[in-house]
Amino acid sequence: MAKYKIVHDIEECIGCGACAAVCDNWVMEGDKAKEIETEFDEIGCNQDAVDSCPVDCIKIVEEK
Ligand code: SF4
């Protein structure tokens, strides 16, 4: 089982593109962002995506 999981509140996403600019796990799809991989063992640049999001709609949760 993967260690971390992304929870993206797509309703809150304003489509600014910041996450996709800093992390290649994020792509823009229309006016919303989408993660490519949702579960992973290493946070990597997904942490940058979290930190760059102006509306805090990306969370990384640790799987138990
Ligand atoms: S940084 Fe946040 S608001 Fe901007 S596109 Fe990514 S998820 Fe959406």
For residue 64, the model assigns a pLDDT of 77
Domain harbouring 33, CATH code: 3.30.70.20
pLDDT in tens, 41-55: 999 999 999 999 999
Q: Which atom of ligand 1 is nearest to the CA of 18?
A: 1
Residue 63 burial (CB count, 10 A) = 10
Low-confidence ranges of the chain (pLDDT < 50): none
Q: What is the DSSP string of 2-16?
A: -SEEEEE-TTT----
For residue 39, the model assigns a pLDDT of 97
24 C-alpha to ligand 1 centroid (Å): 13
Report the amino acid identity of residue 40: F
Mutate to test the pocket of ligand 1, among 8, 10, 13, 46 (most ligand atoms within 8 A of CB): 13
For 27, the domain range is 4-62
Task: Give the number of domains in the chain.
Answer: 1
Per cent of the chain over pLDDT 90 is 94
